[in-house]
Amino acid sequence: MIMQKKEIIQTLTLIFRGTFGQPTLDLRDDLTANDVENWDSLTHMLLITNIENQFGFKFKLKDLNKMKQVGDMITLIESKLDIHPL
Amino acid sequence: MNHLNQLATKILAFISLIILLDFTAGYLFRYLETKALNNNPQGMIAEFTMWRAEGDIMIFGASEAHGGLIPSLMKNKLGISVFNCSNDAKPFYYQYCMINTVIERKKPKVIIWSIYSCDLNTPTKRDMNSLSVLNPFYDTNDYCKKVINKKSKYENLKMVSNLYRYNSRILNLISNIFSKTETDRGYVALSNSGYKYPTLKSGSEDCGIDSEIVDSFIEIIKKCKATDVELILIIIPKFENINNSENFGYKNLIEICGKYDVPLIKEFYNSPIFLNDSTLFRDNDHLNDKGARLFTALLCDKIKQIRETKCIH
Amino acid sequence: MTFTSLNFLFFFTIVVVLFNLIPQRVRVWFLLFASYFFYIDLMPVFAILLALVTGCTYLFTRIIANSKSAIGKHRVLVLGIIVIISPLIFFKFFSFVNLVITTLLFRCGLHVSLPTSSYILPVGISFYTFMAIGYLIDVYNEDVESESNIGIVALFLAFFPIILSGPIERAGNLIPQFRKLQQTTYSDLVAGAKMVLWGYFLKLCIADRLGLYVDLIFNNIHTYNGTTLLFASVLFPFQLYADLGGYSLIAIGVARCLGIIVVPNFKRPFFATSMSEFWRRWHMSLIKWLTNYIYTPLSFGLRRWKMSGIVTALILTFIISGIWHGAELTFFVWGLLQGIYLSIEVVTLKKRSEFKQKFCLNKNPWYILISCVWVFILFSFSQIFGRCGSIGDAFYVIGKILNVLGKIEWLKLMPSSLGLFSLTLLLIKDFLDEYYPNRFLLFENKNIIIRHLSYAFILILILTMGVFDSGQFIYFQF
C-alpha cells in the first residue's frame, strides 16, 4: 500500500514536533528552517534520522541539498516511498 | 544624462560639505591647540619647543633625556638658564626639525643633544609613524614638511585635510586643556614605584647608518657652527653592558664628531659608576631621579671642562 | 596594497570607472586582470600558485561534468580535492608537522633534525582553496553547472575584493553574476560606497584602536594584573568583530560598486542568545562552508549514532575550523571549545525549549540580555585561546584572571579610548538594527540632509580617530 500525501504530512508533523520540541507546530509547503525555532543545521540531522527511521528508507547525501523547504521534503519522501512501499 | 547630472550634483554637494566641515575642524583644532599649550606646555612639548621654549642651554632627546637631565640643577652648576625639550620615543628626524627650528627662532648658546649609535640607522616604520606629531606644522615649517614627505609620496595629499593632520590628537588636546603636568623646565623625574630595579643586560650591538640621516646630521652640525651655537652630543647611560667594538653606527658617530670637531660625551655610557648601581635606574633604558641627579652633576663638570678648554683655545 | 592603503582607494576608483566605460564582453577579462594586478602587487610569486589552483579547478570540474560514470566522477572528485588542498596543507602545516615528528622522535630518544621550511603563507590561500573545493563539490553534486569559460572560473577564485579575507563565496552565487556583468547602477554604487565607509570605520576606528591596547596587554601578559587581562579579553572579541567584520564589509561594498552582490559575513553577532545562533551570525560564510562541506557529510555518515553522531561531527568540524585558523594547539582548543559549547546546546535543546515556554522567556528582555551576555562570556573565554601564543600562556592568563586582581591599566588605555567611543556607536547601531529595524535611520534616512550629514560624520570620525599607517589585518595570516 502506498502512503497518501496526507498521511505523510501527518507523520511528518509529529516528527517535526518531537524533534524541535514544538508541540503546536503545523507544517506548510513553504516552511523553511528560518521559520521554525530550533531548526538549524545541528537539529536538521536529527530530523533526517527520525524521518528515515519512521518511514523506513535511507536518504542519500545528495538528497539533503534538495530539501530547502518542507514542500521539497514531502515530494522527496513521496518519491522514496514509491520505490519502497510500506 | 539627467541621472548623471543628479549624481554629479550630489557628489559635488557632499564634497563641499566635507571641505566646509574640514575647514571648520581646522579652526577648532588650532583653537584647542592654543588652549592646551597655554594650560599645559609639557603635554604639548612639540608645539612648545617649536614656538615658545627658551633657554641658554636647550636639551634635545627622547625619554632617556626627558628623565635624565635636570635643568634647575644645571643652572645652579653652570649659571645659565636651561630648558629640556626632550620628547619621549621621538626619532632622529623629530630632533632634526626641532633643533633647526629652535636655532632659527631663538638661538640658544648651547644645544645638548642626547643621541645613541643606532639613531643614525634607517628609521623604522614605527619611527616614521611617530613623526605624526609634526603634521600640524606641515604648512608652516619647511623642515617638518621635508621630513613628513619622506614617509610616502602621498603625504602632501593627505595633509590637505585638517582632520587628518590632527588625527588621533583630540583626546590629547582635551586632556591638556584640563590637566597639568608639573615639570622642572621640561624634566620629569622617573620614580621606581611599581618598578623593580633592573638587572644588568649585556651583549653587543651593531647598527647600520642611513646616508640621508647622516647628511641631515652633518647639516645640523654645520648649521650650529655657522650660527655660533655650541653643539654638545651626549650618550646617556643605560643599565646594560654593551660591546660596541663591532658597532658600525657607533664608529661612524665617533668619526663624524671627530671630523667636525663636535664634543661627544660618551664616558658615562658603559661606565662602572652607573653599571655597578642598579638603584640609579628605573628600568634598563632609563635613569631614575637619583640617577638623573648624579648624571646631571657629572655632565655639568664635563661641560665646564669643555667650555674652559675652548676658551683657552 | 591592502584595503587600508591610499593606493587601494586609487586602484578601486580607477577599476570602477574603467569597468563602466568598457564594453560588456571584456569586463570579465578586465576584472580578472585587475584582480591579478591586485594580488601580484601583494604576493608576486604566489600568483602562479593561484593560477595553478585555478587551472586544476577548471580541469577537474570540466572532467566531472563531462564524465558519464558515477564511480569515475567520484574518483575525479577525490583526486581534485587532494590536488587543490595540498598547497594549503603544505604551506600551513609543514612546520607544524615537522615539529610534531621531531618531538615524537625526540621522545623516542632520537635526535633527528628535519629540513625546515621558512616559506611564508601565501595570502588568501585558505580562502581561494576553500572556494575552489566548494565549487568542485557543488559541480559533483550537480548544484551548479561547471563553467566552460576559464576566465570566469579564474575571476571567481581571484576576485580582488574577497581574495584576501573573504567572505568565502560559492560558485552558485558569483559565477552567474560574472556571466552578465552590467554597468553599475546608481543604487548599487551608493549602497556599495556606504558599506565601504562603514567598513573603514569599523576597521580603522574600532579594530585598530582597540588593537593598540589588546596587543599591548596580550604581548606582555606577565606584566599586567588579572583585571587588566580580563578587560583586554573582553575587548578582544569586539576588536575581532570590527576587524574581520569591517574588512568583510569593505570587500562586500567594493564588489557592490561593481554591481556584484557578495554574501554577508556578520550579522550583529553579539545579539545572539545562544552559541548556535552566534555561529549563524559570526563569520557566516566560513560556517556555511564548514556546514556544507564538512559537517553535513560527517553527521550524515554518523547519523546511525543519533545524538552522539551529531556531537562527534560537530566537535570534529570545529576542530578542523580551529586548525584552519592556525596549526597550533591553542586553535585546536579553541575549536574544541566551540564544539563542546554547541554540543551541550544541542543535547539540552528540548529541555531549554520547554523551560523557555513554561516561563514565557522568549520575549523577556532580561532573559535575552542575560543570554547575550552569557554567549559573549563563552565566546570571549574561547578567544583567550585564540589570542594567546601558546596553550601555556592561555592557562596563565586564565589563572591570573581568576586569582590576581588589581587596578585596570587605564593610562595605557588612553590611545584606545577613542576606540571605545566608536565601539559604543557600533553597538548602538547594531542594537537598533536588531530590535528597532527601520526606525532610526541615518545612512538610509529619507531626508537627504540627515543622510549626507551622517556620511560626513562617519568620515570625520575616520579622519580624526582612525589609526593610519599601522599594522596588518589579523585575518591575513589565516
Contact check, Cβ <8 Å, C296/A45: yes
Contact partners, residue B29, CB within 8 Å, separation at least 6: B136, B162, B165, B166, B169, B173
Mean pLDDT of chain C, nearest integer: 88
Domain extent for A37: 5-80
C291 touches chain A (CB under 8 A): yes
Cα separation, A68 vs A73, in Å, equals 8
Contact check, Cβ <8 Å, B128/C469: yes
Least confident among B105-109, C86-90, C104-108 = C104-108
Q: C42: closest CA among C150, C120, C126, C153?
A: C120
What distance in Å separates residue B104's CA from the closest CA in chain C? 31
What distance in Å separates residue C60's CA from the closest CA in chain A? 19
Give the mean pLDDT of C63-71.
90
Cβ contacts of C113-116, under 8 Å, gap ≥ 24: none
Contact check, Cβ <8 Å, A21/C350: yes
Nearest to C460 among B154, B157, B163 (CB): B163
Query: In the complex, which subunits touch A with 3 or more CB pairs below 8 angstroms?
Result: C
C300 touches chain A (CB under 8 A): yes
What distance in Å separates residue A18's CA from the closest CA in chain C? 9
Residue of chain A whose Cα is closest to the Cα of C312: A42
Q: Is A11 inside a domain boundary?
A: yes
Q: Do chains A and C touch (3 or more CB pairs under 8 A)?
A: yes
pLDDT digits (tens, 9 = 90+) for C451-465: 888 899 999 999 888
Domain boundaries, chain C: 6-183, 188-477
Cα separation, C423 vs C475, in Å, equals 20
Percent of chain C with pLDDT over 90: 55
Cα separation, C31 vs C260, in Å, equals 12
Contact check, Cβ <8 Å, C303/A48: yes
Q: Do chains C and B touch (3 or more CB pairs under 8 A)?
A: yes
Least confident among B13-22, C103-112, C131-140 = C103-112
Nearest to C464 among B129, B151, B167 (CB): B167
Contact partners, residue A57, CB within 8 Å, separation at least 6: A80, A81, A83, A84
Contact check, Cβ <8 Å, A42/C310: yes
- Dmax over Cα atoms in chain C, in whole Å? 75
A34 touches chain C (CB under 8 A): no
pLDDT digits (tens, 9 = 90+) for C305-326: 888 888 999 999 999 888 888 7
Give the mean pLDDT of C274-299.
92
Q: Is A86 inside a domain boundary?
A: no
Residue of chain B whose Cα is closest to the Cα of C459: B18
Q: What are phi and psi of B232, to 5 degrees?
A: -125, 125
| Rounded (10°) CA dihedral C25, C29, C32, C36 | -160
Q: Is the pLDDT of residue C475 over 60?
A: no
Neighbours of C242 (CB within 10 A): 28
Least confident among B193-202, B237-246, C370-379 = B193-202
Task: Label each residue of B227-250 as H, E or C.
Answer: HCCEEEEECCCCCEEEECCCCHHH
C7 touches chain A (CB under 8 A): no
What distance in Å separates residue C80's CA from the closest CA in chain A? 19
Burial class (CB in 10 A: 0-12, 13-18, 19+), C367: middle
Q: Which residues on C lie below 8 Å from A42 (Cβ)?
A: 276, 310, 314, 342, 345-346
* Interface mutation vs chain C, best among A20, A34, A39, A42, most C CBs within 10 Å: A42
Helix axes B2-39, B170-178, angle to 10 degrees: 30
- Where does the pLDDT of residue C136 fall: very low under 50, low under 70, confident under 90, or very high at 90 and above? very high
Q: B83 forms bridges with which residues in the sheet?
A: B58
Residues B2-31 as b or e (16 or more Cβ within 10 Å = b): eeeeeeeeeeeebeebbeebbeebbeebee
Place of cell 550537480: C142
Predicted pLDDT at C349? 82
Give the mean pLDDT of B286-300.
94
Predicted pLDDT at C337? 94
Contact check, Cβ <8 Å, B161/C463: yes
- Where does the pLDDT of residue B313 fall: very low under 50, low under 70, confident under 90, or very high at 90 and above? low
Predicted pLDDT at C406? 79
- In sign, the C-alpha dihedral spanning C182, C183, C184, C185 is negative
Nearest to B129 among C414, C417, C469 (CB): C469
Indicate the number of domains in chain A: 1
Angle at B249 between CA B245 and CA B255, to 5 degrees: 85
Whether C452 is a known active-site residue: answer no
C353 touches chain A (CB under 8 A): yes
Predicted pLDDT at B195? 76
From chain B, which residues contact C within 8 Å (Cβ)? 3, 7, 13-14, 17-18, 21-22, 25, 125, 128-129, 132, 151-152, 154, 157-158, 161, 163-164, 166-171, 175
Q: Is A68 inside a domain boundary?
A: yes
The residue ranking higher by pLDDT, C223 or B237, is: B237
Predicted pLDDT at A2? 59
Cα separation, B276 vs B280, in Å, equals 9
Give the mean pLDDT of B8-20.
89
Contact check, Cβ <8 Å, C467/B168: yes
Give the mean pLDDT of B189-214.
87
One of C111, C283, C325, C452 is an active-site residue; which one?
Answer: C325
Percent of chain C with pLDDT over 70: 94
What CATH code is carried by the domain that includes residue A11? Answer: 1.10.1200.10
Cα separation, C220 vs C432, in Å, equals 37
Cα separation, C2 vs C161, in Å, equals 10
Nearest to C300 among A42, A43, A45 (CB): A45
Contact check, Cβ <8 Å, B168/C186: no
Q: Do chains A and B touch (3 or more CB pairs under 8 A)?
A: no
- Where does the pLDDT of residue C327 fall: very low under 50, low under 70, confident under 90, or very high at 90 and above? confident
Residue of chain C whose Cα is closest to the Cα of A19: C350
Contact check, Cβ <8 Å, A37/C353: yes
Cis peptide before B108 (omega within 30 of 0): no
C346 touches chain A (CB under 8 A): yes
- Where does the pLDDT of residue A85 fall: very low under 50, low under 70, confident under 90, or very high at 90 and above? very low
Residue of chain B whose Cα is closest to the Cα of C413: B171
> How many CA within 13 A on the CB side of residue B119?
23
Contact check, Cβ <8 Å, C141/A62: yes
Contact check, Cβ <8 Å, C303/A49: yes
Concatenate the DSSP letters of all residues of chain B into one string. -HHHHHHHHHHHHHHHHHHHHHHHHHHHHHHHHHHHHHH-GGGGHHHHHHHT---SEEEE-SHHHHTT--HHHHHHHHSS-EEE---TT--HHHHHHHHHHHHHHS--SEEEEE--GGGGSPPPHHHHHGGGGGGGGTTT-HHHHHHHHTT-TTHHHHTT-HHHHTTT-HHHHHHHHH-----BTTB-PPP-TT-PPPPPEEEE------HHHHHHHHHHHHHHHHHT-EEEEE----SEEEE-TT-HHHHHHHHHHHHHT--EE-TTTT-HHHHT-GGGEEETTEE-HHHHHHHHHHHHHHHHHHHHHHHH-
Q: Which residues on B lie below 8 Å from C456 (Cβ)?
A: 14, 17-18, 21
pLDDT digits (tens, 9 = 90+) for C387-441: 998 888 999 999 999 987 877 777 777 778 888 999 999 999 999 989 888 777 7
Q: Is the pLDDT of residue B246 over 50?
A: yes
A20 touches chain C (CB under 8 A): yes
Residue of chain A whose Cα is closest to the Cα of C353: A21
The residue ranking higher by pLDDT, C378 or A21, is: C378
CA-to-CA dists, residue C189 to C20, C450, C452, angstroms: 11, 19, 15
Q: Is A85 inside a domain boundary?
A: no
Q: Is the pLDDT of residue C476 over 50?
A: no
Least confident among B110-119, B229-238, C209-218, C435-444 = C435-444
Q: Is the pLDDT of residue A83 over 60?
A: no
Contact check, Cβ <8 Å, B170/C417: no
pLDDT digits (tens, 9 = 90+) for C203-257: 999 998 898 889 888 988 888 888 889 999 999 999 999 999 999 999 999 999 9
Least confident among A3-12, B191-200, B214-223, C110-119 = C110-119
Predicted pLDDT at C146? 92
Nearest to A61 among C276, C297, C354 (CB): C297
* Interface mutation vs chain A, best among C349, C352, C355, C360, most A CBs within 10 Å: C349
pLDDT digits (tens, 9 = 90+) for C167-196: 999 999 999 999 989 988 888 998 999 999
